[in-house]
Amino acid sequence: MSLTVKFEKLLAGRSELFRASEVRELLKVTEGGDVISLAGGYPDPRVFPKDDLAEIAKEVISDEASRALQYSPTAGVTEFREELKKFMRRRGVTVRSDDDIIVTTGSQQALDLVARTFVEKDDEIIVELPTYLAALNAFRLSKPGMTAIPLDESGMRTDILESEIKRLKWLGREIKFIYTIPVAHNPTGITMSLERKKELLEIASKYDLVIIEDDPYSYFVYDDGVDITPIKTLDKEGRVVYMSTFSKILAPGLRIGWVLGNEYVTNVLERAKQTADLHTSTLTQIIAMEALRRGVVDKTIDKARQIYRVKRDAMLEALKKYMVEEAWWPNPVGGFFVMVFLPSYDIDTKKMLPEALKKGVAYVPGASFFANGMGWNTMRLNFSYPSPEQIDEGVKRLAGLIQEKLTGEKVRITPISFFKSGGMF
């Protein structure tokens, strides 16, 4: 049926910035078919504590309907926020006396609120190179300039950060915040060293900048001896705004995230949230609160960590076994992903995707994680959702395709050349 109303003429200019997320589009393609999906970032459903959640949900609705099915405060159910503060303290995240918590509809909403609250057209924000693509999409709506700071295996390159800040200041740019995913970074799996965290804080303090610390993955670190001290805990000046989510430690369908930061900031975020959705579901907040109180969250984290460690190892094993020798990937000490750098700049992973789907494997092309438009020869592979057997088969299919594509001169890309290039890795 042809459309008679010309909706496109009515759209606001900003609607052009609502980019279809590549991950979401891909998930549509891979749903149900024979394609092994190494795309997406879904938790393994075996991790969901469904019996515990069913029991809690039944109790909450039967016994507390007048509260659980009612509207609730925009900042979140008060008792739940207190419970979250306790949970944060238990996990070594400092809660200062001038801090407060706001519950958000997933941490995606927190990213959106932070951008809407802080950023105006032509402000500058600093992100990692690469970084979480849905964060970039949320930030882009406010039309800022984005400066992307490369990572190496210890996290954000603080030497480059400082020189970029000096350059931006010299240009008279207003820097609104530095966004970082310090532990088990999405998409690279890299974890920032303690030294780098301290340097980052020193620089933020020197230039009086705010740090947005996005931490969905510190619960899932698989190797011993990895420092996961939150930047928030090292912060003596209250300049770190910390966010996390129940999406990986309980279930993403609950849509619960939270922001912990200076009460001035959480107050403004609360006002921004009011216009977005009044509040996050009261029902799922109370379910999550009970899950915290009854130890279900801790149990889920322990179980998930074991399951995901096996899958991470299966992914690294498969890459070692099948992937072309010249490709390179940083070792993910945790999280859900591995980012593979292909040995030829001639391979554009976005263009290659339809061929990969034909061969029965999906991944996320890396370019959308790079705020500077690079990364076209990279891909993000997920290991949390597929089974170890699917991981093995998926990587085998992908490696076969890449081998076919590698014609002509191969450019050997080693960590050294990435680090040296300073531009990408």
Q: Which of 132, 258, 322, 329 binds ligand PLP (CB under 6 A)?
A: 132
Q: Indicate the pairing of strand 145-152 with strand 240-245.
A: unpaired
Range in contact with ligand PLP (rule: CB under 6 A) among 71-79, 100-108, 322-330, 395-403 = 100-108
Q: Which of 22, 30, 37, 41 binds ligand PLP (CB under 6 A)?
A: 41
Task: Specify the residue, 23 or 61, whose C-beta has the smaller distance to ligand PLP.
Answer: 23
Task: Specify the residue, 105 or 344, whose C-beta has the smaller distance to ligand PLP.
Answer: 105
Q: How many helices (DSSP H) and strands (DSSP E) are in the chain? A: 15, 13
Under the binding rule (CB under 6 A), the answer on residue 189 touching ligand PLP is no
375 vs 72: CA distance, rounded Å? 44
Task: Specify the residue, 186 or 378, whose C-beta has the smaller distance to ligand PLP.
Answer: 186
254 vs 100: CA distance, rounded Å? 22
Task: Specify the residue, 254 or 399, whose C-beta has the smaller distance to ligand PLP.
Answer: 254
Tokens of 237: 């000046």
User: Min. distance of Cβ 211 from ligand PLP in angstroms?
Assistant: 15
Assign 3-state DSSP to the chain and report helix, strand, coil percentages, each to 5. Answer: 45, 15, 40
Sites for ligand PLP among residues 234-253 (CB under 6 A): 245, 247, 252
Find the helix packing angle between 296-322 and 282-293, rounded to 10°: 90
Under the binding rule (CB under 6 A), the answer on residue 106 touching ligand PLP is yes
Which pairs count as long-range contacts for 406-414, CB under 8 Å and 24+ apart, including other chains? 406/324, 406/343, 406/344, 406/347, 408/344, 408/346, 409/344, 410/326, 410/343, 410/344, 411/326, 411/343, 411/344, 411/345, 412/326, 412/343, 413/326, 413/327, 413/328, 413/341, 413/342, 413/343, 414/328
Under the binding rule (CB under 6 A), the answer on residue 107 touching ligand PLP is yes
**Positions of E strands within 44-98:** none
User: Min. distance of Cβ 214 from ligand PLP in angstroms?
Assistant: 5
Q: Which of 108, 147, 284, 377 binds ligand PLP (CB under 6 A)?
A: 108
- Confirm if 95 and 260 have CB atoms less than 8 A apart: yes
- Confirm if 413 and 326 have CB atoms less than 8 A apart: yes
Under the binding rule (CB under 6 A), the answer on residue 386 touching ligand PLP is no
Q: Quick one: which of 200, 195, 199 has its CA closest to 177?
A: 200
Task: Specify the residue, 26 or 323, whose C-beta has the smaller distance to ligand PLP.
Answer: 26
- Confirm if 369 and 187 have CB atoms less than 8 A apart: yes
Under the binding rule (CB under 6 A), the answer on residue 382 touching ligand PLP is no
Sites for ligand PLP among residues 294-333 (CB under 6 A): none
Under the binding rule (CB under 6 A), the answer on residue 368 touching ligand PLP is no
217 vs 199: CA distance, rounded Å? 22
Under the binding rule (CB under 6 A), the answer on residue 182 touching ligand PLP is no
User: Min. distance of Cβ 32 from ligand PLP in angstroms?
Assistant: 22
User: Min. distance of Cβ 127 from ligand PLP in angstroms?
Assistant: 11
129 vs 126: CA distance, rounded Å? 10
Q: Which of 40, 49, 238, 257 binds ligand PLP (CB under 6 A)?
A: 257
Q: Which of 214, 235, 290, 392 binds ligand PLP (CB under 6 A)?
A: 214
User: Min. distance of Cβ 166 from ligand PLP in angstroms?
Assistant: 28
Number of residues that bind ligand PLP (CB under 6 A): 13
CA 402, distance to chain mean position in Å, is: 27
Q: Which of 35, 149, 165, 181 binds ligand PLP (CB under 6 A)?
A: 181
User: Min. distance of Cβ 335 from ligand PLP in angstroms?
Assistant: 8
User: Min. distance of Cβ 317 from ligand PLP in angstroms?
Assistant: 24
* DSSP for residue 101: E
Q: For 163-184, give one letter per residue: b (16+ CB within 10 A) or e.
A: ebbeebeeeebebbbbbbbbbb
User: Min. distance of Cβ 2 from ligand PLP in angstroms?
Assistant: 37
Q: Quick one: which of 387, 218, 409, 209 has its CA closest to 326?
A: 409
Under the binding rule (CB under 6 A), the answer on residue 43 touching ligand PLP is no
204 vs 210: CA distance, rounded Å? 7
User: In the beta sheet, which residues pair with residue 150?
Assistant: 129
Task: Specify the residue, 181 or 347, whose C-beta has the smaller distance to ligand PLP.
Answer: 181
Task: Specify the residue, 265 or 402, whose C-beta has the smaller distance to ligand PLP.
Answer: 265
Under the binding rule (CB under 6 A), the answer on residue 147 touching ligand PLP is no
Q: Which residues here bind ligand PLP, judged by CB under 6 A?
A: 41, 106-108, 132, 181, 186, 214, 216, 245, 247, 252, 257
